[in-house]
Structure 1
């Protein structure tokens, strides 16, 4: 049985349930269209910093924030388009703006569709007209996120997009990684390192990008939680970013369509012609063992 309930918490929260599987998803449209929680049989999949979430002046640290129209940051938070300079903060504005629910499905599956349309606020920092549609679909132990990006401008629309899922963990030493790449770039030092499946979790921060991906699937096995997470992504995502902080009970494995600063460099940047659209999908599967 599939259901959608609406609760008025600090924000209006949509709770999607696959009751047969004991799987639940919580979505908060007005707080960046974010998935805040995903539970399977009462076990939390995502980490959520509830204090930051409660403060609308802070970006959310937890759940699955949406990255658009950039991934990462750009130098001095500025870029130039048609000779004019604009300010765009890290990861863009989609994760901070309210989204609207446009569709709900509870027949044979449970899904929620949200939309973000360009407006005066977005055009002040990103001078384009667009529409972004996300469908969150929950079935069993699988969460699928289907996306559609539409260029409503009379000129080309440049962007990158991605996700920043925070996965809950209690013992990073018990994590095993299967990432389809043999090297990564340290985003702090810019150095390239070979990857043998391990990270040095004694470091204060790990922030690395895998660019030469050899498949559309990666997984992390958390032996302390007896949980294997599999991330499947369409070929629109040629980059995986891994990020974590020492002393925090999370790690992030993030599919990105382009690297940092692509709005300035053009590297892997998606450019949509006027009136055209672009689709992508990401699927997360959580298996307890």
Structure 2
């Protein structure tokens, strides 16, 4: 069976690609979370299983989903990065067997925080040396649906000192201060912790120089802003596609708005390449 339920090392579902043997580990009841992606015989995602065991703590690892906001909104009831990463999702095998579908819909608890009906679907497909994620956001309501969307994947690196980022533009935003900065200046501090937002015009690559490997983030508008985040001493770097910057629900900056009955499709892909 491509999709099976397992109890160890924590309760999860495992999807195994029938042709390549690449695997996904998923915990749909904890935010539709992909906790593992094994490709070419090696786990690519960082995942703190000990922290995950305490539901009171935020997750550090896997691929959390950011919706209906990215970042936080001061003095607003929506939690940091929205509520999608805290809600139970449904999980099913794709019709062609080439991946899985995760789905989330509004309910009374989401409507209390965000008074907008929605349907959110992720198709997660392991491909040859790649991971493709297709997203569909639908508005089943009778009023416009405003939102931002993002993914927050944690990638393993040998160490932060061995990690490099390529493809960022010269000018970025330092999200620790919300001030403009140069990418070169901020990336010097990757081992000490960095949180930057960029609007790249090319693929952004995370290189692990010790392993001679890289992960390239392929973006498609409007899911084409990129956040780079490190959290020392954890040996991981987050390479995140966002549709909008922090605060977009209030500022309107790149905010997506779906008319009643409208849907938006988003696409991103992570590709493994030599460094």
Tell me whether 1:113 sits opposite 2:112 in the alignment.
no
Report the Cα distance in structure 2 between the residues aligned to 1:161 and 1:34, rounded to whole angstroms: 15
| Alignment length (residue pairs) | 275
The one of 72, 76, 101 aligned to 2:91: 101
CA, structure 1 residues 20+226, in 2 after alignment: closer, same or farther (shift >3 Å)?
A: farther
| Partner residue, 1:178 | 166
CA, structure 1 residues 253+21, in 2 after alignment: closer, same or farther (shift >3 Å)?
A: same
CA, structure 1 residues 230+113, in 2 after alignment: closer, same or farther (shift >3 Å)?
A: same
Deviation string, structure 1 residues 208-260 (Cα, Å, up to 9, x no partner): 1113x213x22112111222101111111231111112211111111110111
| Partner residue, 1:71 | 70
Tell me whether 1:241 sits opposite 2:227 in the alignment.
yes
Q: CA deviation at 1:26?
A: 0.9
- Contact 2:26/2:34 (CA < 8 Å) preserved in 1? yes
> Which consecutive residues of structure 1, in runs of 5 or more, have no partner in the other structure?
79-86
TM-score, normalisation: structure 2: 0.92
- Contact 2:40/2:129 (CA < 8 Å) preserved in 1? no
Question: Once superposed, which parts of structure 1, at least 4 consecutive aligned residues long, lie more than 4 Å away?
Answer: 9-12
RMSD over aligned CA atoms reads 2.1
| Partner residue, 1:84 | none
TM-score, normalisation: structure 1: 0.88
In proportion to residue count, which structure has more strand?
Answer: 1
The one of 231, 237, 248 aligned to 1:251: 237
Deviation string, structure 1 residues 113-159 (Cα, Å, up to 9, x no partner): 12101000100100011100111111222111111100111111000
Q: CA deviation at 1:11?
A: 6.3
Report the Cα distance in structure 1 between the residues aligned to 2:226 and 2:173, rounded to whole angstroms: 11
> Which consecutive residues of structure 2, in runs of 5 or more, have no partner in the other structure?
none
Tell me whether 1:50 sits opposite 2:38 in the alignment.
no
Please identify, of 22-31 and 110-119, the stretch whose mean Cα deviation from structure 2 is larger: 22-31
Report the Cα distance in structure 1 between the residues aligned to 2:255 and 2:169, rounded to whole angstroms: 21
Report the Cα distance in structure 2 between the residues aligned to 1:243 and 1:144, rounded to whole angstroms: 21
Tell me whether 1:188 sits opposite 2:176 in the alignment.
yes
- Contact 2:2/2:15 (CA < 8 Å) preserved in 1? yes
| Partner residue, 1:91 | 81
